[in-house]
Amino acid sequence: MPRGKFSNHKGRSRRFTNPEELEEERKKEEQKKKWRQQHGDESSEESEDDKKISEESDSDEESSEEEETHKAKGVSNLIEIENPNRVQKKTKKLSTLNTADLTVKPQLSRREREEIERQKDQANYQKLHAEGKTDQARADLARLAIIRQQREEARKRREAEQKEKEEASKAKTAATNKALGKK
């Protein structure tokens, strides 16, 4: 049993509507509805109720779509607004994809284009350098020719010195053998 004057936590006692009052209210609503139908003055609320009743007899898909449009409050059902920031994912079928779009090269940025040009120029320069058509290649070949000539002269000089040493050693051995009286 509740203590004190009030019976619930909100501070008031509960009040229940009598079933007779509910029945009387329902009858009044039906009379108003009939009167409006006779005079041709249906309110938008009642027409929506009638539509919902007729929609229930239709297929489930159609009724669910139409009920969603009727659930809008205020003037929002009059104004159709589409959020430009909302991105709706669209599924693509393989048959609808254009193969021509896949073969087109993607647009390159300025840095990427410059890097590709730099690589092409470097490859072209290496090719010309290998053929000996660049200034640096000509200078390198001239230097190489001078070095080859110097190495050839050094080789000839070493061979000449070696021959002189051999002749000197032969002459010495011959002189010692002559001095000793050997043949």
Domain membership of residue 156 as a residue range? 139-183
User: Residues 76, 68: contact at Cβ < 8 Å?
Assistant: no
Q: Is residue 166 part of a domain?
A: yes
Predicted confidence at residue 68, as pLDDT, reads: 52
Helix and strand numbers (H, E) in the chain are 6, 0
Rg of the chain in Å (alpha carbons): 55
Q: Is residue 164 part of a domain?
A: yes
Tell me the residue type at 172. K
Predicted confidence (pLDDT) per residue in 106-142, tens digit: 788 999 999 999 999 999 999 998 888 888 889 999 9
Q: Is residue 154 part of a domain?
A: yes
Predicted confidence (pLDDT) per residue in 20-77, tens digit: 999 999 999 999 999 999 988 655 444 555 555 554 444 444 445 555 555 666 776 6
Predicted confidence at residue 59, as pLDDT, reads: 46
| Domain count across the chain | 1
Predicted confidence (pLDDT) per residue in 1-15, tens digit: 555 665 666 666 777
Sorted by sequence, the CB contacts under 8 Å of residue 65 that are 6+ apart come out as none
Q: Is residue 158 part of a domain?
A: yes
Whole-angstrom distance, CA of residue 76 vs CA of residue 82 = 12
- The residue ranking higher by pLDDT, 20 or 99, is 20
Q: Is residue 104 part of a domain?
A: no
Sorted by sequence, the CB contacts under 8 Å of residue 129 that are 6+ apart come out as 136, 137
Q: Is residue 181 part of a domain?
A: yes
Residues in the chain: 183
Predicted confidence at residue 23, as pLDDT, reads: 93
Q: Is residue 177 part of a domain?
A: yes
Q: Is residue 86 part of a domain?
A: no
Predicted confidence at residue 44, as pLDDT, reads: 47
CA atoms within a 13 Å half-sphere pointing along the CA-CB vector of 27: 6
